């Protein structure tokens, strides 16, 4: 059974700092890895999708890397803003999605 | 953009009631999923469907059933709601696992 772990569980940084969120998974037989954002009481918004054959994916201030052989992914958010405050979830897909518990980020103005 | 619509944002139901949670997607996706999300337990898969009238149990199907009579609609049914089914319910859909999945905005269900 796929196990997905996210470290740290929570992170608080001043505005402008770069954010580094980590995700690890136990089974490397995956289609892809998806990073989501969740605001309190809301659904999940997809941020980035990295195919199993890719090493990284970028969108604006967001960059995600994937090392399938070691079972790791990292989400970088450059120059954080208060609007980046949310919970970030990583999910690996072997058809079904298996989720980590998330990292709750607070960006202080 | 893909739209996944969950019919209710908030629901309050009584113990023992039969509850229907509806999810509709507008992109002709084959695959649809129901998850529940609880503090400390994360997101857990209840049921999924890869085609009309096809369904598979996820990790926590007990107390739930599903219906998929049309491709665009996937319903989650609580046959006799219990207080331990109070949770946030999230629906997702996708054409192919290689393209990722899109989630709805969630239904917060409270069973009293």
pLDDT digits (tens, 9 = 90+) for A34-72: 999 999 989 999 999 999 999 999 999 999 999 999 999
A35 with A90: CB under 8 angstroms? yes
Report helix, strand and coil shares of chain B as percent, to nearest 5. Answer: 5, 55, 40
Q: How far is B24 from chain A (nearest CA, A)?
A: 15
Q: How large is the average pLDDT for residues A74-92?
A: 97
Per-residue pLDDT tens over the stretch B55-96: 999 999 999 999 999 999 999 999 999 999 999 999 999 998
CB contact under 8 A, A31 and B102: no
CB contact under 8 A, A93 and B103: no
pLDDT at A95: 87
Q: In this structure, is the dihedral angle defined by the CA atoms of residues A74, B46, B40 and B103, taken in order, positive or negative? A: positive
Q: Which residues of B74-84 are buried (b: 16+ CB within 10 A; e: fewer)?
A: bbbebeebeee
Q: Which of A38, A43, A66 to mutate to test the interface with B (most CBs of B within 10 A)?
A: A43
Q: How large is the average pLDDT for residues B92-106?
A: 92
Q: Does the pLDDT at position A16 exceed 90?
A: yes
Pairing state of beta strands A62-67 and B102-103? unpaired
pLDDT at B29: 93
CB contact under 8 A, A32 and B98: yes
Q: Does the pLDDT at position A3 exceed 90?
A: yes
Average pLDDT across chain A, whole number: 95
A-chain residues near B103 (CB < 8 A)? 36, 43-46
Q: Does the pLDDT at position B24 exceed 80?
A: yes
Confidence of residue B15 (pLDDT cuts 50, 70, 90): very high
From residue B18, alpha-carbon distances to A54, B55, B111 in Å are 45, 20, 11
Q: Does the pLDDT at position B2 exceed 80?
A: no
Question: How many Å apart are CA A47 and CA A35, to the nearest integer?
Answer: 5
B-chain residues near A45 (CB < 8 A)? 103
| Segment holding B47, helix H or strand E | strand B42-51
């Amino acid at each position: 059974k796929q196990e997905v772990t996210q470290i740290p569980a929570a992170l608080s940084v001043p505005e402008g700092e770069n954010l580094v969120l980590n995700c690890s998974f136990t089974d490397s037989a995956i289609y892809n890895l998806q990073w989501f954002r969740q605001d309190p009481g809301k659904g999940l918004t997809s941020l980035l999708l990295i195919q199993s054959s890719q090493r990284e994916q970028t969108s604006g201030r967001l960059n995600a890397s994937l090392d399938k052989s070691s079972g790791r992914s990292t989400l970088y958010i450059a120059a954080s803003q208060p609007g980046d405050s949310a919970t970030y979830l990583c999910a690996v897909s072997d058809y079904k999605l298996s989720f980590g518990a998330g990292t709750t980020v607070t960006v202080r103005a | 953009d893909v739209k996944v619509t969950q019919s209710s944002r908030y629901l309050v139901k009584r113990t023992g009631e039969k509850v229907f949670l509806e999810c509709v997607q507008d992109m002709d996706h084959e695959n649809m999923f129901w998850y529940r999300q609880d503090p400390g337990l994360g997101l857990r898969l209840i049921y999924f469907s890869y085609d009309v009238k096809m369904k598979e149990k996820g990790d926590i199907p007990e107390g739930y059933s599903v219906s998929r009579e049309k491709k665009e609609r996937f319903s989650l049914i609580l046959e006799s709601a219990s207080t331990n089914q109070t949770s946030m319910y999230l629906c997702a859909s996708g054409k192919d696992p290689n393209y990722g999945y899109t989630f709805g905005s969630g239904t917060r269900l409270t069973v009293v």
